[in-house]
Amino acid sequence: MDAPATASGVLHRYAPGLIAFEHTPAAPATTTPAETAETEGNSNSGSSANYLLFVGGLGDGLFTVPIASRLLALPQWRLVEVLTSSSYAGWGVGSVQRDAEELAQCVKYFRDRDGAAKVVLMGHSTGSQDTLQYLMNSNTPDNSTPKLDGAILQSPVSDREAIITSTPKTAYLTSMNFASAWVKNGQGSEVIPRDMRPGFESTPISAERWCSLAAPLDTATGNPQGMEDFFSSDLSDETLKATFGRLPGETRVLVLYGGADEFVPAYVDKAKLVERWTKVCGEAGVTVDEAAGVVEGATHTLKDVPEPVWADFVGRVNGFLGRVLAA
């Protein structure tokens, strides 16, 4: 199923230069025309439902991820696709920290519209890195980042492992040595040459962002060098404690890993990886939802998967949101 060519809803300017699109909910089959009109009219009220904020991955923007179109009929929830400065090609000169700070503005915007509404942040692909960074930011003493009622990590794959698997070793190492040298020389914000960003030649990428995405493990310490290397399968438990172990205990978390995700190397044991994350969260007092796990048959974006896979995926999301409401 492809993303829609058109959609109805409300466009919000949640901060200067930053927008979010609130979809008009899909009407259930039994809804009358009058009820449908009332539902659409409530989209401006800010008090008719709770908000599921959706942020995509590298290169994503409005209507680019088919998952969003399957989440329009969730009871009591409105789907909002959020654009940040990193949307579309902007990610190449951005960072997950900048994304998390902008997402905090978006959460505050919707909190201010209706203080009683629940707010859940759902990250797809690299949007999951944004979501994890947001959660870590929200668990700091200064309370500058608004709390979430829930968070969903969907297709939280390792960019480093995906890049290494799809790139010739010599090209990968050459690009990393080049980008690392630029960072060390104070040129981290500058865009590296096309041939130094294999697989991403069409996107301007800074040396700093390329290192953040793809830097190898430190051979001396075994620690990640990439600032957003949160989901690689070779990370130590101690490293995971510094990320998954820092999440706020009051925010329920759902992890949905695609069983057929084409960006995950064949050597990765997906179920074991999710179990490791869940274990670290549990030891830190973080509630990982009962629906978390591997969605069998799910590809990275779930495009063209069979209906039973969609049903499993949407059912897990719906169940999770129901438990967020009940909390």
pLDDT at 45 over 70: no
**pLDDT at site 36:** 40
Mean predicted confidence (pLDDT) in 152-175: 97
Outline where 33-121 has alpha helix (H). Answer: 33-41, 96-113
pLDDT at 266 over 70: yes
Asked if 99 and 214 touch (Cβ cutoff 8 Å), the reply is no
Mean predicted confidence (pLDDT) in 152-166: 97
The token pair at 306 is: 């069979």
**pLDDT at site 26:** 86
Which letter, b or e, does each residue of 288-308 get, where b requires 16 or more Cβ atoms within 10 Å of its Cβ?
Answer: bbebbbbbebbbbbbeebeee
Report the distance separating Cα 154 and Cα 296, nearest Å. 13
- Lowest-pLDDT choice from 46-60, 87-101, 148-162, 221-235: 46-60
pLDDT at 49 over 90: no
- Give me the residues paired with residue 253 across strands: 151, 288
**pLDDT at site 89:** 97
pLDDT classification of 5: cutoffs 50, 70, 90? confident
Ramachandran angles phi, psi of 226, nearest 5°: -75, 130
pLDDT classification of 143: cutoffs 50, 70, 90? confident
**Furthest CA-CA distance within the chain:** 66
The sheet with strand 77-82 has its strands ordered as 9-15, 18-23, 77-82, 50-55, 119-124, 150-154, 252-258, 293-295
Report the distance separating Cα 153 and Cα 129, nearest Å. 8
The token pair at 137 is: 């930011």
Asked if 307 and 301 touch (Cβ cutoff 8 Å), the reply is no
pLDDT classification of 284: cutoffs 50, 70, 90? very high
Comparing 266 with 144, the larger pLDDT belongs to 266
Report the distance separating Cα 296 and Cα 301, nearest Å. 13
Report the distance separating Cα 36 and Cα 47, nearest Å. 17
pLDDT at 138 over 80: yes
Mean predicted confidence (pLDDT) in 144-151: 95
Report the distance separating Cα 296 and Cα 26, nearest Å. 26
pLDDT at 275 over 70: yes
pLDDT at 58 over 70: yes
Phi-psi region of 230 (alpha: psi -120 to 50; beta: other; left: phi over 0): alpha
Mean predicted confidence (pLDDT) in 229-241: 96
- Give me the residues paired with residue 257 across strands: 294
Asked if 152 and 120 touch (Cβ cutoff 8 Å), the reply is yes
pTM of the model: 0.92
pLDDT at 43 over 60: no
pLDDT at 44 over 60: no
**pLDDT at site 2:** 59
Q: What value does the mean pLDDT of the chain take? A: 92
Half-sphere exposure of 258 (CA within 13 A, CB side): 23
